[in-house]
Structures are given as C-alpha cells and as structure tokens.
Structure 1
Amino acid sequence: MGPLARTGIGIALACGVLVTAVGVGRNSDSDHEKEPPKGPYVALGDSYTSGPKIPPQTGDPAGCDRSGRNYPALVARELGIEPADFRDVSCSGATIAHLTAPQSTDHGTNPAQLSALSAGTMLVTLGIGGNDVGFSSLITNCVTTGALYELADHFTDVSGKAPCERRYTSGDTDTIAQQIHTTGDQLARALHQIKRRAPGARVYVVGYPAILPAKGTDCDDAMPLAPDDVVFLRDKEQQLNTMLRYRARAAGATYVDTFTPSSEHNACSPESTRWIEPLRPSSPAASVHPNERGERGMATAVLHAVKD
C-alpha cells in the first residue's frame, strides 16, 4: 500500500482468510481455548497499523509515527492487556523485510520487528504488504495521471483502458499482480518465522481497509483520479487482500477483513463518516491513511476475530 507515512500518500495498501477452528463438540476446555488472550501481545506492521499523525504520537523511535489510539492500542485496552504485556513495534514505511531487519527512519532506527516476539507471546497482529507492492508510488502516479487527463477530458484510449491502468498493464502483463505474487512468497516466509519464534501465539493477519469506492464517479477533487482508475485501484487492493487471506490460511493464521466494514467509509466518503483521509486530510492523520475513526473500525474488526 516509498514509505507509507513518509510520502504522505503512501498507502500501504498497503491482506488473508478467516481460519475457522472446527471441533466435534463444545466443552469447558474448548470454551477456555477460545477466550481472548490477555497477553503478551505484539503488534507488527506498517503505517496503517502505526497511525501516523493521529494524536497522541508515542513510542520509540519517533520516526515510526505510532499513535496511542491506533488499532493495536485499542485492542490491547479492550482485552485488558497490561501495558507491560503489550508491545507495538509497527512502523511507518515498513516492508516485510523490516520484520527481520532494522528499519532506519528520519528519527531513529526501529529494530527488526520480529525481535519483539518470544516463546511467551500469546497474541500477534500483523498488518503489512502495501509498501512491498508499491502502493505509495502507484497512488501518486495515478493521481497525477488522472489530473492531467481530467484537464484533457480524456480518460481512456483506443484500448479501453484508463490512463493509470494502461501504465501498469500491457497485454497479458500486469506488473501490480506480479508484485502482489512476489509479496505473497515473502509473507509466507515471514509467517513461518512468526510461528517459529512464538509457537503458542494466535496470529491475526490484518487486511487493508477500503481506500476507494466501488464507483469511479464517487470521487471528486479530494481524490482526482480517472473514474476507471478508481475501479482499477480498488480491484488491485482487493487482490492484495485476497493474497493476504490466502497466505494467512496456508500458515494457520486468521485473516481479519477490514475492507468490507470500511467499504462505505473510504477516502471519497463524506468527511463525517470516512475512515480514510483523502489527499488533503481534514482530520489529524496522514493523507490516504486511516484517521482515528478508521483505527477504531479496524480495532473492532480485530476484536471480533479475536473473540470469535
């Protein structure tokens, strides 16, 4: 979904499927197993997890842009997890590589995120992949192209493709789909590492909320995209989430769908209801990133999965 928070337009867009436990019956032991863990809880991820510019900004290093009201903090509070048992190591601009290697920021270095895990970790949330796919530059390029074509009043060519779609697809070649596939392979290895380091943890892969609406004509100057490119980009985000769902299932993790509940609260929705801020935010949040309402909505989706 360039770094998601550093560019201000990163999206990390920066995705998995719900893995449902199947049992032959219900008893006190199985009920106990389904009780939400009380920690230790480790939150991993990029800027859609960290919550850049949502007050209060907290944590070390400051360059990771973590909010005290991001979805991991809200989940920890709701589950009654003690502060000593909660570690949020998410960081703006993080890629899958930063799960196992340090990440340099403008204000300090974030250690490899998986270093926060241990054999005692009982709950892990992971929201990552958008930066690996390059949604930051994708959105920037599509907005620029859309604005130029709006001036020309010309959104498609003889191929029937919108300008941004034409830039990233040619014949049978779809560069975004290729990047999503490569990212999926990297995520599979990372999930294996999480399982190895925290074998007793329940792992939740958190998908990305809807950035754009289903209808291309529902966006205005807040997100100046060619209408068909709105549809193209929404489809690519859904492909990214589908990959995350698949990889979560394959690794025995649980996928958390934040796309469905946020579909009518995208960056082109009214200011009073949107979860994602447009290019010029009207609420404290990075552009094209979740605002506080969005982080609350994501927390609700995570809590529903954890308590299910």
Structure 2
Amino acid sequence: MTTPRPVDSHHRAAEPSAPHRERASRPRHRERASRPRHRRPPAGGRVGWAGAVAAAAVGLAAVTVALGPATTSADAEPEGNVVYLGDSFTANPDQTRNLTRDINPLVFDGYPSREGCLQSPDNAPRQLADLTGVPVADWSCTAQTSRGSLHRIDRAIAAGDIHPGTRAVVLAAGMNNYGPYGALDGVDILDPRAVRDAYLADMHAAADRVRAVAPGARIIVPGQLTVADPVTAVYCAVNVVPDRPVGFPLPLLRDVENWNRANQVDAAREIGATYVEVRDGSADHHSCAPDARRWVAGVVDTTTPDYHMMFHPSRAGSAFVARRIAGALP
C-alpha cells in the first residue's frame, strides 16, 4: 500500500458559482437538517459504441438532486474541520430511500442528508470523523461530477463549512464524468481526452475556490475503490450463491477506472494537492472477490456484506477509504 504523497503545481484556473442546506444527526461530526499497467486516455480518439456500456456502468445508481434552504454562518464548522465532497461512492445512501426521495419526502426523516442529498450513516466521511475525532462536513451527493462539485464547494463556503480555519478539503468526484452526468455537463464522454481536459479544468477551479477562502487547507484527492477485476476486467453483477460471483468482461469499465485514476494523479500534481492511492490497495476486494473480501457490490447481490447501493461500496470499503484519507490529514 502506497503512502499518500503531496504533489506540487503552479497552474490554476477559475470557474462559475451557484445556490442551499439541510440537517441530520451523526456521531462525532456535526451534520445539517477503479493493478495492471494503467493506460492513459488515447489522445483525441473516441470510445465508440462501447461507451454506452461504460456510461451505464459508471452512472448505474446515480440520480439527480434537489436543493434545500440556505443556512447561516452560525452553523459553520469549527476550526480544524474537514470538508468532504464526492459522488455516490462517497455519499453511498440507502438505495431504496435514494430512488424514492423525489416522491416520498419521508425518506429524509431520521436519515443523514445535506441539501437534498442523502448520505449513509457509515459512509467514508462519517467513518473518517469517527476514526479521527475531527469534525467532518459531508457535502457528498449522488450523481456528482467534478463540475457539479464546484456548486457544492460554493454551498459549503456559503454555509461556513469551508473557512480560514479549515484543515482539509477532500475532492473525490471524477468517475461520473465518464457517464451520463458528464454528458449533462456538456462534455463529449466518448472522447476520453475531452473528459480528462474538462476534469482538470474543474479541479483547477475547485482549488482556486477553496484556497480563496481557506488558503491553508490541504486539498486531498482520494482514488476510487476497484470495481472490475483489474486482471480479467470482469465485473460481477450477480452475487447470489455464496462465494460464487457471476460476471462478464467489461474492459471499458476497467479502462475508465484507470483513466480516472490517471486524471486524479495529474490533477493533484497540477493543483498542488495530496493524491491518496486507493485503487491498488483495494485491487483484491473488487466485485468478483470472495464474499468476505468484497468491497463493491454487484447489481443483484445478496452476499456482499453491509452494502447500501448496487455497484457501490460496502461498509468495509468505505472504512478503507476513510483510513487512507486519515493518514493524509495534516
């Protein structure tokens, strides 16, 4: 397992802004309401028809989000806090609640959320808070891309969660950039180079916005848990018979996982952030691993322990991510 390393850069960019907030309860932090050699994206070339497969896999459980009311600075997080932004791999809410939230507002009752975004009680941000005792403001949301995270950064600033005393800001979104939500951002998701360029621009903008308010905060870019078997490229969508996962090869999904990691490494270097390796350390815990070792669920799955959404992390997977980030905190 590699240790987190800071990487430097002198290039930054700027970008747009946006609009809100909600509360729930959780233990220690306050709450309100993809091993082999990795190929970089081919320069310019299009993915073609198979892009639809990867887009479907990447965006499998993501849904759009609604916004809630704004908050006052009285609710701001204390000095030395961490702000954690990410997509559904981070938020990782209960699947039934998440799929019905637009028609049943009761799903928010007694369940953690932030401005319309449901969040699991044992997701990586909450486990990070429990592990370190550091206040963590969870701004993760299903369906987030790096572009969508810019809006969440603006909201976290407006809410007082990102402030001059903030210790670290975690920027975990990126995989959804290759799926339908990346297309909604106006990016040609069939062109890996276009996805990469848009992601890097978003990360420069994110770093600029964070540092304008919290110049001393460490920006952390964590990798993502391995989904497909990194050797065979098989994604196991059916996990029903104990320790007998059933899957099929999805080479493009493995490529997207590797491209996403390469993008994150490059972004961290360019914006002077700390990249935290997650993919290598989770390479033996992919969707086709034995039940007790599996950290990412299938689609039809009765054997992965303690997971909340199909195609998403188990509690143990989120715990691994939390431990890796804890080791990178200043």
Q: Name the CA distance, whole Å, in 1 between partners of 2:196 and 2:315.
A: 28
Equivalent residue for 1:87, pick from 127, 130, 137: 137
4+ long deviations beyond 6 Å: 1-7, 135-138
- For 1:286 and 1:5, the matched residues in 2 are separated by 13
Question: How far apart in 2 are the matches of 1:298 and 1:220?
Answer: 21
Give ranges in structure 1 of 5+ residues lacking alignment: 12-36, 103-109, 139-167
Compare the two structures and name the one with the higher helix fraction: 1
Alignment partner of 2:170: what SS?
strand
May I ask how many residue pairs the two structures share in their alignment?
A: 236
Change over 3 Å in CA distance of 1:114–1:271 after alignment to 2: farther
Correspondence for 1:64: 117
Q: Deviations over 1:28-84 (max 9, x none)?
A: xxxxxxxxx9822111111111122289941334x4221221111121222222xxx
Cα pair 2:237 2:287 within 8 Å, conserved: no
* Alpha-carbon shift at residue 297 of structure 1 (Å): 1.0
Alignment of 1:33-52 (within 5 A): 39-52=80-93
Instruction: Tell me how far 1:98 sits from its aligned partner.
Output: 2.8
Kindly report which structure 2 residues correspond to 1:40-189, keeping only aligned pairs within 5 A, or say none.
40-53=81-94, 57-61=111-115, 63-81=116-134, 85-101=135-151, 112-115=155-158, 116-134=161-179, 175-189=191-205
Task: Tell me: CA distance 1:281–1:193, structure 2 relative to 1, closer, same or farther (3 Å).
Answer: farther
2:217 to 185, 201, 213: 201
Shift of 1:264: 0.8
Report the secondary structure of 1:255's partner residue: strand
The 3-state SS of whatever aligns with 1:211 is coil
Q: Which residue of the partner structure matches residue 226 of structure 2?
A: 210
Q: CA deviation at 1:9?
A: 3.3
- Uncovered stretches (5+) of structure 2, i.e. residues with no partner: 1-33, 35-53, 64-77, 98-109, 239-244
8 Å CA contact retained: 1:5, 1:286: no
TM-score (norm 1): 0.65
Q: Which is greater in Rg?
A: 1
**Change in CA separation of 1:89 and 1:118 when aligned onto 2, cut-off 3 Å:** same
3-state DSSP of counterpart to 2:292 = coil
Q: Is the 8 A contact 2:178 2:256 kept in 1?
A: no
- Partner residue in 1 for 2:324: 301
The alignment partner of 1:272 has SS state of helix
Once the two structures are superposed, residues 189-243 of structure 1 have per-residue CA deviations (whole angstroms, 9 ceiling, x without a partner) of: 212221222111111111111111123375555287652xx33321221111111
Classify the secondary structure of the residue corresponding to 1:87.
strand
TM (norm. structure 2) is 0.61
Deviations 1:78-119 (A, max 9, x none): 2222xxx431111111223333336xxxxxxx9734543111
Superimposed CA distance per residue, residues 225-281 of structure 1 (whole angstroms, 9 cap, x where no aligned partner) = 652xx3332122111111111111211110111101111101121222111111123
Say if 1:296 and 1:7 are closer, same or farther in 2 by CA, change over 3 A.
Answer: same
Q: Confirm whether residue 250 of structure 1 aligns to residue 270 of structure 2.
A: yes
SS at match of 2:329: helix
Residue of structure 2 equivalent to 1:292: 315
Residue 199 of structure 1 aligns to which amino acid in structure 2? P
Alpha-carbon distance in structure 2 between the residues aligned to 1:64 and 1:203: 22
* CA RMSD in angstroms, aligned pairs only: 3.7
Whether the 8 Å contact between 2:57 and 2:253 is mirrored in structure 1 is no
CA distance in 1, matches of 2:294, 2:321: 13
| Equivalent of 2:61 in 3, 9, 12 | 9
Describe the SS at the equivalent of 1:296.
helix
Amino acid at match of 2:165: G
- Identity percentage over the alignment? 25
